[in-house]
Amino acid sequence: MSITTIISIAFLIFVAVTILKGVRIVPQGYKWIVQRLGKYHTTLNPGLSIIIPYIDEVAYKITTKDILLDIPSQEVITKDNAVLLMNAVAYINLSVPEKAVYGIENFNWAIQNLVQTTLRSIVGEMDLDDALSSRDHIKAKLKAAIADDISDWGITLKTVEIQDIQPSPTMQAAMEAQAAAERQRRATVTKADGEKQAAILEADGRLEASRRDAEAQIVLAESSQQAISLVTSAVGDKEIPVAYLLGEQYVKAMQDMAKSNNAKTVVLPADILSTIRGIMGRKL
């Protein structure tokens, strides 16, 4: 092979390499950062672009699609010294790629740390109950706090979401113990209230029974008074009818005592001698 042929082949290879280095096809969804002699020169948009070979160089290939950043879980202390485990996700877009690559060394790491730091600051001003129930409020404050900071890097924060909020294992055990104690307290209070109501109802029942007994005694007393009044009106000054009525009641009482199965004593009239004399006198 002659020298001329070798030079021709080398020239053709050089031309081909030069063309390849000068012609750039940027795919959709990307932007390429071009440096000229080590300095930023231009940004290539999707499509066919021509650069100066050996002088211009594609230094960075930046995506224009939204980027998902997973913010690792971290311990956050609330205002009332409760420990929470929180993590988040952020959606960003490199709206100005040249600022993103030249304005910050590692924008992924920077945004991740910024979100974590801001999250600790926000939750540190809240009580435990507010932190657990105010996820939207935390999200809004977090987005407002970091959106302006990352805009200086040519990055747009689309949204940030609080992915999970939960107490630490120690705090969760303490909360479960507190909840159990609260349930036990409510059960005790409910039981005490029930016993109190039962006692009140029982006392009311006894009071009502006593009132009814008293009313019954009054009614009986009034009935006895009326009966005595009727008897007194009927008898007047006559002693014999009165003696007859008393004797009738006395005999009835004796008969009841005699019929009793437990009766072991024979009761005789107190004036039995007078009775016997009366009987003997009548016989005589």
Q: What is the pLDDT of residues 182-201, one digit of tens each?
A: 788 888 888 888 888 888 88
Over 90: is that where the pLDDT of 91 sits? yes
How confident is the model at residue 206, as a pLDDT?
Answer: 82
For the residues 54-79, what does the mean pLDDT come to? Answer: 89
C-alpha angle with apex 120: 74 to 86, nearest 5 degrees?
A: 35
How confident is the model at residue 238, as a pLDDT?
Answer: 57
pLDDT digits (tens, 9 = 90+) for 199-220: 888 888 888 888 888 888 887 7
How many other CB atoms sit within 10 Å of the CB of residue 85?
Answer: 16
Over 60: is that where the pLDDT of 266 sits? no
Over 80: is that where the pLDDT of 104 sits? yes
How confident is the model at residue 253, as a pLDDT?
Answer: 65
pLDDT digits (tens, 9 = 90+) for 15-26: 888 888 888 899
How confident is the model at residue 260, as a pLDDT?
Answer: 62
More confident residue, 94 or 237: 94
More confident residue, 137 or 170: 137
pLDDT band at 179 (very low <50, low <70, confident <90, very high): confident
Over 90: is that where the pLDDT of 128 sits? no
pLDDT band at 105 (very low <50, low <70, confident <90, very high): confident
Over 70: is that where the pLDDT of 283 sits? no
Q: Quick one: 67-167 is in which CATH superfamily?
A: Band 7 domain (3.30.479.30)
Residue among 102, 158, 162 at smallest CA distance from 138: 162
Over 50: is that where the pLDDT of 279 sits? no
For the residues 165-179, what does the mean pLDDT come to? Answer: 72
Mean pLDDT, all residues of the chain = 80
More confident residue, 31 or 10: 31
For the residues 130-140, what does the mean pLDDT come to? Answer: 85
Over 60: is that where the pLDDT of 136 sits? yes
How confident is the model at residue 89, as a pLDDT?
Answer: 92
For the residues 76-84, what does the mean pLDDT come to? Answer: 86
For 26, 27, 29, 53, 244, the CA distances from 18, given in Å and listed in that order, are 18, 21, 26, 6, 155
Question: Would you say 53 and 21 are in contact if contact means Cβ atoms under 8 Å apart?
Answer: yes
Return the percentage of the chain with pLDDT > 70, whole number: 77
